[in-house]
Amino acid sequence: GENVEQHPSTLSVQEGDSAVIKCTYSDSASNYFPWYKQELGKRPQLIIDIRSNVGEKKDQRIAVTLNKTAKHFSLHITETQPEDSAVYFCASFNFGNEKLTFGTGTRLTIIP
């Protein structure tokens, strides 16, 4: 089955700096890659997603890039703010088995 690796597991960034989280997937049948933000005690919230026919997508301070050849995708957060502190999960949707597989998560802490 699909395996999604996510790095780093923890990340501390000074407020105003950028944060980058990287994921790698294993199955070339995966074609949709969402990112979720989960604050403590709350639900996973979709923040951005990218489809396999697109290389980059941006939404204000958040951007996602996809390298299909290398099976890598990354989340970039610029001008970080304290409210960006949360656990971020990447995920990979496999077209073959129609399952969403999550990465292990990155705990992002923004230092004021």
Sites of contact with other proteins (CB under 8 A): 31-32, 34, 36, 42-46, 49, 51, 89, 93, 95, 97-100, 102-105
Q: How far is the CB of 100 from other proteins (least distance, A)?
A: 6
Task: Write out the H or E segment, with its range, that includes residue 17.
Answer: none
Q: Half-sphere exposure (CA, 13 Å, Cβ side) for 94?
A: 14
Strand-pair partners of 32: 51, 93
DSSP 8-state symbol, 61: T
Work out the number of other CB atoms within 10 angstroms of the CB of residue 8: 12
Q: Which is nearer to other proteins, 83 or 98 (CB)?
A: 98
Q: How far is the CB of 16 from other proteins (least distance, A)?
A: 28
Q: How far is the CB of 91 from other proteins (least distance, A)?
A: 8
Q: Which is nearer to other proteins, 61 or 99 (CB)?
A: 99
Tokens read off for 51: 């489809």
Helix (DSSP H) and strand (DSSP E) numbers for the chain: 0, 11
Q: How far is the CB of 46 from other proteins (least distance, A)?
A: 5
Q: Which is nearer to other proteins, 51 or 61 (CB)?
A: 51
Q: Which is nearer to other proteins, 63 or 87 (CB)?
A: 87
